Structure 1
Amino acid sequence: MRKTYLNIILLFLVAGIFRVSSQDTAGNFDTAYALAYEGKTNTAHNMLYLMMNKPAVDEDISILWASTLSWRGDYDLARSEFNGILSKSKTNREAWISAVKNELYAKNYATALGLSNKALMHIKNDKELTRLQTVATDGVNGITYDSDGWFNVSSTISNKFRDAKKSPAASKESNITEIDNVHKTPVTEEKLKNTVMVNSAVTFFDKRFDPITTSSISYKRQTSFGSIIPRINNSNRVGKNGIQLDLDLYPKIAKGFYAYLNYGYSQSDLYPDHKVGGDVYYNHKSGIEFSAGGRFINFATKDVKSITNSLGYYTGNYYFSLRSYITPESDNLTNVSGNLLVRKYLKDAKNYMGLNVGVGFSPELRQFTSGDQLLAETLLYIESQRLSFEYQFTSKNNLSAYRTNVGVLRQEQSFDPGSYFYSISAGLTYQFNF
């Protein structure tokens, strides 16, 4: 009977991801804008290309499309697009600003000066256009700016098309960072550098095992070098309670490159004594993302070393990621496990739903027991399959986010090969940005 219930839940999870209606153009635009602002300009460009081929194209879409052309270095194509927009709408402030910036990127200072002069004829006394006019004038006079100094926008200016060149490198934590929703009250990146996250989850088993409860609290700080996330994890299993201290780092390396580093420490036998992990990510202009790294987990009785790599791809409102773990063992044996994540972004990049499918025993899963003996993530040859569903949505002001997840697991019992147990888990995460 329990297996029947589990099968029904499994079917419900699979069906739910496909019953969601397709998003409208506004939602697609918000996602493209969010990705562009993160620095994933090529992915946003590919999304906008599909929107630009529709019979009726919104002016905001056209401006962002032209901006992505400019950010990619296609200055002539961008100029043509901006000219088309401004020929129809001579008072569109965002189009004028982006058009002037396009010429400044191309170091066409005389053209940028002419555009800014013309723009100020239609939009009187605009501070940002006046600032760009000064930059263009300096350029004509041979005065240039070091690095990206002129990109900065005055704090009094609310420009929804901020330059993606100054945005932080994207990170795989999903954590699509604090982004203005262009259809809502702006919340600038400079104001949202801190995030507090609280998580709680519970797992029920169909036989033998008592429920497991876990919780965590973390603090995320955005810096010019990347994100820093200290975390405290708590677990209650088999009548024991344990705490683990965890630290995640997402340092920026170079254009298109960023890294993930992790260290965890615990004195509880519910967790490894030490765990260390790291990945290097590369975002290709085609929207494909690669990563390679490793994991080292130190238990009281054994060490686990794994090589991990992933392949991700953004297309439309969807993100696909396939990750594998390769763990060499004794006797020339090697274990391979993997996870497939499919995520669909909704009205913007902070609102999404996703499906995660896993096969094999990953070295990053929680521990179980065999008799009175604790078994850690070293059960590498036990057959296992898992499926989970996630859904995240934000508050109206985008300061808070809520994520729910529900999952099912089928795993072989270590003490009884060929016999399986099932589990159902559910969790809730609350996130507040400030």
Structure 2
Amino acid sequence: MKRIVFLLTIIHFLGIYTIMAQDATYSGNPDASFLTARELAFSGQRDMARDTLKSILTKYPDYIDVRCLMAKTYSWDNDHDEARLQFNRITSREKKNKEVWVAAIKNEQYAKNYTIALGLTNKALLYLEDDGELLGLHAQILKQIEAQQLLQNILKETKKEDKSDQSITLYTQGEFFDEGLDAMYYGALEYKKKTKWGVLIPRLNFNRRFNNDGIQAEMDAYPRFSKTLSGYFNYGFSGSKIFPRHRIGGEVLKELPKALEVSLGFRHLSFENDNATILTGTFGLYRGNYYAVLRPYVVPDAREGVGVSGNLLIRKYLRDGNNFMGLNLVYGFDTELNQFIVDGALLAETLLYLESQKLRFEYQFSNSKSNNIYKTNLGVNRQELAFSSGKFFWSVTAGIAYELKF
């Protein structure tokens, strides 16, 4: 393959040299040059392919296959505006070339210009009536427009209805085991304040784990640096042995085109006798009224090796951003909740490498004014016992939260 690309490159430069020597007038076999350009384009050498295609068009401006391929290379390189110009030059003269119509329509789909794509499809069907592929594209674009409008309505309604800048949330959850272990209970009371620079959330956590009680004070901050760049900072402190003495977290999130987002950050847990640092991040995307985000956790340790776990959350939004149902899959250690103790000692480091799987269902709904929000979750967990390697227990979790906005 490399030898073929090399030979095509030599042919390309020889062609350019010939053109320059003849005062930029193309003199060659246009069909052979087109085949050479096509091989270059499909091998990833699209700039070189366009040079050859442009040279052909200087003498054969109506060579449709040449101009269509050039337009496609622009579309592949996300230069959708230039691709549109080239496709329009063809369709203004050639009305029944199905390949050109399909490529032009897909160019607008890639650019998420769904209304333009729909208009092109309707126009193409005037000249190519009842064409199956065009009819399929027509139905597909209608679904894309519907999904795009639904997402825009969700975001619009959320912004319109969520005018309150403060809220109080009360949260409680229980976990019940099948191995004769005592149930664990979690609770939290938090206050949220929206400001010009972002969101501030002080929180008080209460846990009861294996008949040991503990309280943790925590603070979250979500600053917004620009329209597409935001952050997350966290600090928590506790004097209880069932919580980390210090919990520190930081993350930077970037919103990308095409409804994508990525983030990169860390969590640091400091215990009385040991510390643990966890690297994390996210990759999220919106599609219609669905949102999916993958969060890996990586724990580097010279003695234990690298511990890896992951969390996949999928949500389907309903009438607005305050109403949704979701599914949460966790493989490996869930760093946000579970900590185990044995004989009064917290197994902070060992726990990060325990094998576990979790499945949780969540459902959030609000009243008509969206100032009262309720959230429930129900899950099942399978986890290795911290004090008996290779032995697993099952547990069921159930929780409810109530948020009051004002």
Partners of 1:49 and 1:342 lie apart in 2 by: 28
The AA in structure 2 aligned to 1:179 is K
Q: Would you say 1:392 and 2:372 are equivalent positions? A: no
Q: 1:378 to 1:225 in 2, by over 3 A?
A: farther
* Aligned-pair CA distance for 1:365: 3.0
Q: 1:233 to 1:305 in 2, by over 3 A?
A: same
Match of 1:354 in 2: 326
Q: 1:421 to 1:346 in 2, by over 3 A?
A: same
The AA in structure 2 aligned to 1:423 is S
Of 379, 391, 397, 1:419 maps to 391
Using the size of structure 2 for normalisation, the TM-score is: 0.61
Match of 1:433 in 2: 405
Secondary structure in 1 matching 2:351 = coil
* Aligned-pair CA distance for 1:54: 7.4
Of 231, 252, 261, 1:259 maps to 231
Partners of 2:260 and 2:290 lie apart in 1 by: 12
8 A contact 2:347–2:386 mirrored in 1: no
Q: Would you say 1:210 and 2:165 are equivalent positions? A: no
* Aligned-pair CA distance for 1:194: 0.5
- Aligned positions of 1:187-198 closer than 5 A: 187=161, 189=163, 192-198=164-170
Of 267, 282, 287, 2:259 maps to 287
- Aligned positions of 1:216-365 closer than 5 A: 216-331=188-303, 333-365=305-337
* Aligned-pair CA distance for 1:328: 0.7
Partners of 2:313 and 2:113 lie apart in 1 by: 20
Q: 1:346 to 1:207 in 2, by over 3 A?
A: same
C-alpha offsets along residues 114-164 of structure 1, whole Å, 9 cap, x if unaligned? xxxxxxxxxxxxxxxxxxxxxxxxxxxxxxxxxxxxxxxxxxxxxx999x8
Partners of 1:209 and 1:258 lie apart in 2 by: 41
Q: 1:360 to 1:399 in 2, by over 3 A?
A: same
Match of 2:29 in 1: none
* Aligned-pair CA distance for 1:298: 0.2
- Aligned positions of 1:64-213 closer than 5 A: 179-180=159-160, 187=161, 189=163, 192-213=164-185
Using the size of structure 1 for normalisation, the TM-score is: 0.58
Secondary structure in 1 matching 2:225 = strand
Partners of 1:256 and 1:418 lie apart in 2 by: 45
Match of 1:369 in 2: 341
The AA in structure 1 aligned to 2:324 is Y
Partners of 1:268 and 1:343 lie apart in 2 by: 35
Partners of 1:49 and 1:370 lie apart in 2 by: 62
Q: 1:54 to 1:349 in 2, by over 3 A?
A: farther
Which sections of structure 2, spanning at least 5 residues, go unmatched? 1-110, 119-137
* Aligned-pair CA distance for 1:380: 1.9
* Aligned-pair CA distance for 1:361: 1.3
Secondary structure in 2 matching 1:254 = coil
Q: 1:227 to 1:372 in 2, by over 3 A?
A: closer
8 A contact 1:366–1:376 mirrored in 2: no
* Aligned-pair CA distance for 1:346: 0.8
Partners of 1:233 and 1:47 lie apart in 2 by: 47
Which sections of structure 1, spanning at least 5 residues, go unmatched? 1-44, 69-159, 165-176, 181-186
Q: 1:188 to 1:297 in 2, by over 3 A?
A: closer
Larger Rg: 2
Partners of 1:289 and 1:194 lie apart in 2 by: 26
C-alpha offsets along residues 76-127 of structure 1, whole Å, 9 cap, x if unaligned? xxxxxxxxxxxxxxxxxxxxxxxxxxxxxxxxxxxxxxxxxxxxxxxxxxxx
Q: 1:377 to 1:397 in 2, by over 3 A?
A: farther
Structure 1 ranges of 4+ moved more than 4 A: 45-55
8 A contact 1:296–1:303 mirrored in 2: yes
Name the Cα RMSD after superposition. Answer: 3.0
Secondary structure in 2 matching 1:179 = helix
Partners of 2:114 and 2:331 lie apart in 1 by: 35
8 A contact 1:309–1:323 mirrored in 2: yes
8 A contact 2:375–2:401 mirrored in 1: yes
Structure number with higher relative contact order (C-alpha < 8 Å, ≥ 6 residues apart)? 1
* Aligned-pair CA distance for 1:372: 5.2
Q: Percent identity?
A: 38
Of 371, 379, 382, 1:407 maps to 379
Question: Number of aligned pairs?
Answer: 272
Name whichever structure is richer in helix by fraction.
2
